[in-house]
Amino acid sequence: MPDLINAEEQLKRFEMRIAAGEKIEPKDWMPDRYRQQLIRMISQHAHSEIVGMLPEGNWITRAPTLRRKIGLLAKVQDEAGHGLYLYCAAETLGVDRRGMIEALLEGKAKYSHIFNYPTLTWADIGVIGWFVDGAAIVNQTMLAKCSYGPYSRANLRICKEENFHKRQGYEIVSTLSSGTLKQREMAQDAVNRWWWPSLMMFGPPDASSPNSAELLRWKIKLHSNDELRQHFVDITVPQAAAVSITLPDPKLRFDTSSGHWMFGEIDWSEFYEVIKGNGPCNKERMKARRDADSEGAWVRDAAHAYAEKHVSAGT
């Protein structure tokens, strides 16, 4: 059985490289499961960036000042760019971009559950930047150190840009929370609605996370869902206090023995409902993506026609 021995040997060498902190590059041998896990994660991450433009895009035309508007426009444009960095990283694993996009449009591929919540007021834009981008930064800072070279590099690029997203959001919340009573209430209301869904962004608890063990062993992830969630809570609590915002969790308390902020139970049934397609905006988001794809088809066709015309004309 020379092939089997060879496969075992290859896996052993692969895992030794991972253990030594080496990066895996596209042409290197890798177990099929490693490739499949990465394709799943990176394409979901890419789809999340693209769908993530929709809730915030909703407020671009209604931003309260020009300063807020240019900031939000630049942020939403960054999300498009981040989606493209990630599709490009996924393509190095042998999947094509059109296939990934079609999987999303057909409802076969997932994206982060967080983008299925509505943006009801301007304060939501502030809280999304602060919580949602804040949580994404925690996750992506880890992924920038992951074992797969192209995914690591894409996340590094994303992290360099994403701090501005969090700051513009926190600035909005900070401004509202030092404003009129109505503005303060608006900020607090947005925080109340986004806090728990933001904590769910890190995924199910370690005990019921089906992919975690494998992802950690191959250093696709370096920390567990619960560790990342705890880190996010620890850094966010003082940020909330600094802008006189109350986080909607009566069980939130500082535990001196562990040095961490303890928080209440997360309602995972809500998370699984949203994942299944029953969140407040799932249908609206998917419709917006499908419309964008079909309405943009003529642009892709025209670009091809133009390129072919110039090739055949030799210019």
Partner 1 sequence: MADSRKENTGEGELWEVFIQCETGAPHEHAGSVHAADAEMALQNARDVYARRGTVVSIWVVPTSAIAATSPSDEHPFFDPANDKAYRHPQFYKIPKTVKGF
Footprint on this chain of partner 1 (rule: CB under 8 A): 25-29, 74, 77-78, 81, 84-85, 88-89, 91-94, 96-99, 101, 153-154, 157, 161, 300, 303-304, 306-307, 310-311
Q: Considering the complex, what minimum distance in angstroms separates the CB of residue 152 from partner 1?
A: 12
Residue pair 145/222 in contact (Cβ under 8 Å)? The answer is yes
Name the residue nearer to partner 1 (CB basis): 110 or 153.
153
Q: Considering the complex, what minimum distance in angstroms separates the CB of residue 86 from partner 1?
A: 10
Q: How many whole angstroms separate alpha carbon 222 and alpha carbon 143?
A: 8
Q: Considering the complex, what minimum distance in angstroms separates the CB of residue 116 from partner 1?
A: 26
Name the residue nearer to partner 1 (CB basis): 96 or 291.
96
Neighbouring residues of 132: CB distance < 8 A, sequence distance ≥ 6: 52, 114, 194, 198, 201
Name the residue nearer to partner 1 (CB basis): 19 or 74.
74
Q: Considering the complex, what minimum distance in angstroms separates the CB of residue 302 from partner 1?
A: 9
Q: Considering the complex, what minimum distance in angstroms separates the CB of residue 293 from partner 1?
A: 10
Neighbouring residues of 13: CB distance < 8 A, sequence distance ≥ 6: 29
Q: Is 148 helix (H, G, I), strand (E, B) or coil?
A: strand
Name the residue nearer to partner 1 (CB basis): 254 or 306.
306
- Closest by Cα among 112, 16, 98, 96 to 55: 112
Q: Considering the complex, what minimum distance in angstroms separates the CB of residue 75 from partner 1?
A: 11
Q: How many whole angstroms separate alpha carbon 130 and alpha carbon 206?
A: 25
Q: How many whole angstroms separate alpha carbon 279 and alpha carbon 193?
A: 13
Show the tokens assigned to 199.
């904590």
- Closest by Cα among 142, 158, 141, 134 to 224: 142
Per DSSP, what are the bridge partners of residue 157? none
Name the residue nearer to partner 1 (CB basis): 104 or 243.
104
Name the residue nearer to partner 1 (CB basis): 106 or 267.
106
Q: Which helix (H) or strand (E) holds 254?
A: strand 253-255
